[in-house]
A and B are shown apart, each in its own frame.
Chain A
Amino acid sequence: MTQFLKIAGFSLLVISLFATYSNLGIPQIKPAPPPSQESVDLSSMDMDSFISLGEKIYNTKGTCTLCHNELGGRAPMLDNLGEVVSARLEDAGYKGSAANVVDYIVESMNEPSAYVVKGFGKVGTNDQESPMPDVRSGSIGLSEAETLAIVAFLQDSSGLDVSIEIPSNVEEVAEVPEEVPVSTGGQGSQRAKYASAEEIVAILGCGACHKIAEFEGAIGPDLRLIGQSRDAEHLRQSILDPNADITEGFVAMMPPIYGDQLFASELEMLVEYMASLK
């Protein structure tokens, strides 16, 4: 009997060690809830909100950031489509039928293999077949209106004029969860939103490296007057992809993780705050 109790005790101990490690030893990420299927009303929407709807779908239901992100090198970035598209359309390998940016983006989403960006094709297909799924298919299931919203967003974020119209016929458009961190492929954490840029700076520990607010870090550039020399665009990139453009006299030490930790609106808040430090 004592043998038996010893064995039982030992086994329980082992099991609880595994369980404890899984609960405390690794970060508990709460995955985003599944995309909702309710519809939103398009008729009352202006272009800005249509674009931001596109951005949300891009980050959540569209799962685009799963592949199109700064970190992984799994898919090309989509922030310079103006130049890219004209080169694509002239490429000898182009098999599609698009004649302009909008058509090309839509085609890329609906028939990804019409043009496969070099080096990004499915392994073994010699860049003939794209690993990107048809966004209308089951796993993503975008409606036409949702696709157009993304196109609007992509045009806008590539610095192009948005040349599409908001569809008027009522179509199903997913209501996306209000906020999900930028570029996480939809795995949001369930924390409360930060209230101010100062709070973000304090909590994310920017002051460990930078002189900002009351902090005196010395590893990175002094940010107390950063708004004098940098615009919002640059500041945003400095956070999302800090190593893209290394400030002179410094080494690439800034962690590229903050994009994942901030909600889109928080990122904007932070960028605006820094831009105002003049």
Chain B
Amino acid sequence: MISTSIKQLLIVMLVVFLLAVLPFSVAEAAEGVQVTVPELSSSDYPVIAGVNSRVAVWLAAQLHLWFAAFVLAVPIFVFIIESIGVWTRDQRYDEMAFEFIKVSITAYSLTAILGGLLAFSLFIFYPQLMTYLTGVFSESMFYYALLFFAESVTLYVYYYGWHWLQGGDKKWIHLTLGLLLNAVGTLLMLLANAWLTFMMSPNGVDTAGTFTGDTWGAIHNFLWNPINLHRVVANVAFGGSVVGAYAAFKFLSASGEDERAHYDWMGYNANFIAITALLPLPFAGYYLTAEIYEYSQQMGITLMGGVFAWLFIIQAVLIGTLFIAANYYLWCGMGRSEGAHRYYPYIKYIAFVIVASFLVWFTPHTLVLTNEELKALGGPYHKYLGPLGIMPAKNTAVNLMILFTAVSFLIYRRSNKLPTVSWVQTGNALQIALFVAGIANILILGIYYGYFTNTVYKVAASIPQVLTTLVVIVISTVIDSFLYKGAEEVAPLRWGRVPDRSQYALFLLAVAFTWLMGLMGYIRSGIRQHWHVTDVFRDNSVDAFTPTLGYAANVVSIGVVIFMAMVVFVFWISQVSSKKSYPEGYWKTA
């Protein structure tokens, strides 16, 4: 028999579901709408209390985005972890999933507050732009509010019902809730993405920007899906890194061995999530960039060849940092296993390749030289470094870095296992052959296309290189999973037996990720240059110019500091919520 409270719950879920699908069933072109673009001058932009409106909106938007990304990403992997728990019937997964979602609950209200702040500052500082955008998107903004409501309801039931909805059918209902939560959350993000991609690649309006009611056209603009894909993947990586920082925080402040073991395990899983999502991210990035070029060659060139070109050098430094931190964490983690010593000798080589690739990656093509240096070198391209600065060399480096991270991971997985299948030797030989062939292929492609063909073909190497990397990773993972099928454990893993240093790698990961996201947010928005809405709505404010990269980096850094402070608050508050005091003689006794 279904209990009343379950019946009530099912009704709530149905309502949420309807709220979520309603917009799509009734959304149709509104008749007779006419929204036009006003022509503005700098005096049309309110100046309030001397605040720099661009920086205010920039920070509010970025902070909102960081939190939103986190809050949307966590339910994705919480749902996966919960499912793994149901599948394996290992309760630790269920507990970890709950702890992750607990962190995101406080973050959720901060997301909403920051979203309010963003909307508020947009309307204050850019009223005409917002009038135009709300004119175009009025309907979807209304549905956004509905969806937000649905999201809150689902999230609260999912979280507060966690311990109630345990076992048997109840667990299934809970899992369904998780799915619903993710569906609603993703829809929310898609809608918000439509607004900002409309500003990048407007659609559904004529060349003067006049909107006549084609809402779906405006939503389904050229860059919408590329951004959607890129954001989902990036959010998961980012969310993973932030909960990793949470685990590290708890690990470092843990009092007992058990607690350390628990948070070590949690940190490991969070890192795993972050890195798994990080690996496909460059490909989502390639896709997005290709689509930007496709949409407008000018925008593409502004992105890759103009003022912003140097930004990709900073990006390389950050991604390199991410890879190094992630690998370092894996190597430290081998201390948990008694069998790891067998693999220690290899680590230095992997470290060497990864650091070397990193250095190649961020070698700028033209070095900034003083006259003296120019004299000494005889030209602006360094004799040895210059050739490493070109794209094929960089692509080669990136692919090697990804490949060797995969090696680190394979070694980590193997460190505590003894294979029992009969074809161990063949299997290992196969693995080695696979990697050697893959590396050789990447190098040959890079060298051939980089140095023996003319410019137009230089980028042609990137796709076969990427494919090589992917194929090697997939095949080697498959081989390894068969090779170690039914393998014996050397000894139980000693969770918690890692040096504190390793936890700093997790922090490094979270900080670098956050910073990177801020930087890429800047360029995504920056390539519109002096347009609010590309080519149709000109930005005539005093801030319409593109700032230098240093300036942007400073704003991003300030944002990251604020974000980190808020995140620490979130961690702290979720700790406080589980504390209880029992003061003697405070309450009167009955």
CA of A22 to CA of B522, assembled, Å: 13
Chain B hits for A131, CB < 8 A: 297
Nearest CB in chain A to that of B564: its residue: A11
Query: Residue B297 contacts which of A67, A217, A255 (CB distance < 8 angstroms)?
Result: A67
Nearest CB in chain A to that of B515: its residue: A18
Chain B hits for A18, CB < 8 A: 314, 317-318, 512, 515, 553, 557
Nearest CB in chain A to that of B550: its residue: A23
Chain-A contact segment, one of B220-228, B372-380, B431-439, B474-482: B372-380
Mask: chain A, 9-37; 1 = CB below 8 Å from B; 0 = not: 01110111011011101111111011101
The answer to whether A139 touches B296 (Cβ under 8 A) is yes
Chain A hits for B306, CB < 8 A: 31, 66, 185, 187
CA of A62 to CA of B557, assembled, Å: 35
A-contacting residues, B352-407, CB 8 Å: 364, 366, 368, 371, 374-375, 378-381
Chain B hits for A7, CB < 8 A: 249, 252, 504, 507
Chain A min CB distance to B207 (Å): 6
CA of A16 to CA of B561, assembled, Å: 10
Q: Is A133 in the interface zone, CB < 8 Å from B?
A: yes
Mask: chain B, 237-268; 1 = CB below 8 Å from A; 0 = not: 00000000000010011000000000000000
A-contacting residues, B497-553, CB 8 Å: 504, 507-508, 511-512, 515, 529-531, 534-536, 539-540, 544-550, 552-553
Chain B hits for A30, CB < 8 A: 548
Q: Is A249 in the interface zone, CB < 8 Å from B?
A: no
The answer to whether A19 touches B557 (Cβ under 8 A) is yes
CA of A80 to CA of B378, assembled, Å: 33
Chain A hits for B313, CB < 8 A: 26
Nearest CB in chain B to that of A203: its residue: B371
Pair count A-B, CB < 8 A: 137
The answer to whether A133 touches B296 (Cβ under 8 A) is yes
Q: Is B298 in the interface zone, CB < 8 Å from A?
A: yes
Chain B hits for A253, CB < 8 A: 378-379
Chain A hits for B451, CB < 8 A: none
**Chain A: number of interface residues, binned into ranges:** 35 or more
CA of A209 to CA of B317, assembled, Å: 34
Chain B min CB distance to A144 (Å): 17
Chain A hits for B508, CB < 8 A: 10, 14
Nearest CB in chain A to that of B561: its residue: A15
CA of A86 to CA of B529, assembled, Å: 38
Chain B hits for A28, CB < 8 A: 548-550
CA of A14 to CA of B557, assembled, Å: 10
Chain B hits for A11, CB < 8 A: 507, 511, 564
Query: Residue A74 contacts which of B301, B317, B550, B561 (CB distance < 8 angstroms)?
Result: B301
Chain B hits for A185, CB < 8 A: 301, 305-306
The answer to whether A22 touches B550 (Cβ under 8 A) is yes
Given contacts A34-B544, A139-B534, contact A15 B560 (CB under 8 A): yes
Q: Is B463 in the interface zone, CB < 8 Å from A?
A: no
The answer to whether B529 touches A34 (Cβ under 8 A) is yes
Chain A hits for B381, CB < 8 A: 255
Q: State the main secondary structure of chain B at its contact with A.
A: helix
The answer to whether B511 touches A26 (Cβ under 8 A) is no
The answer to whether A22 touches B504 (Cβ under 8 A) is no
Query: Residue B371 contacts which of A23, A31, A132, A208 (CB distance < 8 angstroms)?
Result: A208
Chain B min CB distance to A142 (Å): 13
> What's the tally of chain B residues with a CB closer than 8 Å to chain A?
59
B-contacting residues, A190-237, CB 8 Å: 203, 205, 208-209, 217, 219
Q: Is A169 in the interface zone, CB < 8 Å from B?
A: no
Q: Is A137 in the interface zone, CB < 8 Å from B?
A: yes
Chain A hits for B374, CB < 8 A: 205, 208
Given contacts A22-B550, A74-B301, A208-B375, contact A33 B511 (CB under 8 A): no
Which of A14, A18, A72 has most chain B Cβ within 10 Å? A18
Nearest CB in chain B to that of A253: its residue: B379
CA of A208 to CA of B378, assembled, Å: 8
The answer to whether B298 touches A137 (Cβ under 8 A) is no
Given contacts A14-B511, A15-B557, contact A21 B314 (CB under 8 A): yes
B-contacting residues, A228-277, CB 8 Å: 253, 255, 257
Chain B hits for A23, CB < 8 A: 550, 553-554
Mask: chain B, 287-317; 1 = CB below 8 Å from A; 0 = not: 0000000001110011001110010011001
CA of A28 to CA of B557, assembled, Å: 17
Q: Is B455 in the interface zone, CB < 8 Å from A?
A: yes
Chain B hits for A43, CB < 8 A: none
CA of A203 to CA of B508, assembled, Å: 41
Chain A min CB distance to B245 (Å): 9
Chain A hits for B512, CB < 8 A: 14, 18
Chain B min CB distance to A216 (Å): 11
Q: Is B456 in the interface zone, CB < 8 Å from A?
A: yes
CA of A7 to CA of B368, assembled, Å: 35
CA of A27 to CA of B508, assembled, Å: 26
CA of A29 to CA of B529, assembled, Å: 15
Given contacts A21-B314, A26-B364, contact A137 B375 (CB under 8 A): no
Beyond A21-B317, A25-B314, A66-B302, 13 additional contacts (C-beta under 8 Å) are A19-B554, A22-B314, A22-B553, A25-B317, A28-B549, A31-B306, A37-B540, A66-B301, A205-B374, A208-B375, A253-B379, A255-B380, A257-B380
| 19 CB-based A-B contacts, threshold 8 Å | A15-B557, A18-B318, A21-B314, A22-B550, A23-B550, A28-B548, A29-B307, A29-B549, A31-B547, A33-B545, A35-B530, A66-B305, A131-B297, A133-B298, A137-B535, A138-B536, A208-B374, A208-B378, A253-B379
B residues in contact (CB < 8 Å) with A: 207, 249, 252-253, 296-298, 301-302, 305-307, 310, 313-314, 317-318, 364, 366, 368, 371, 374-375, 378-381, 455-456, 504, 507-508, 511-512, 515, 529-531, 534-536, 539-540, 544-550, 552-554, 556-557, 560-561, 564, 568
Closest 6 CB pairs of A and B: A138-B535, A22-B553, A34-B530, A23-B550, A31-B546, A205-B371
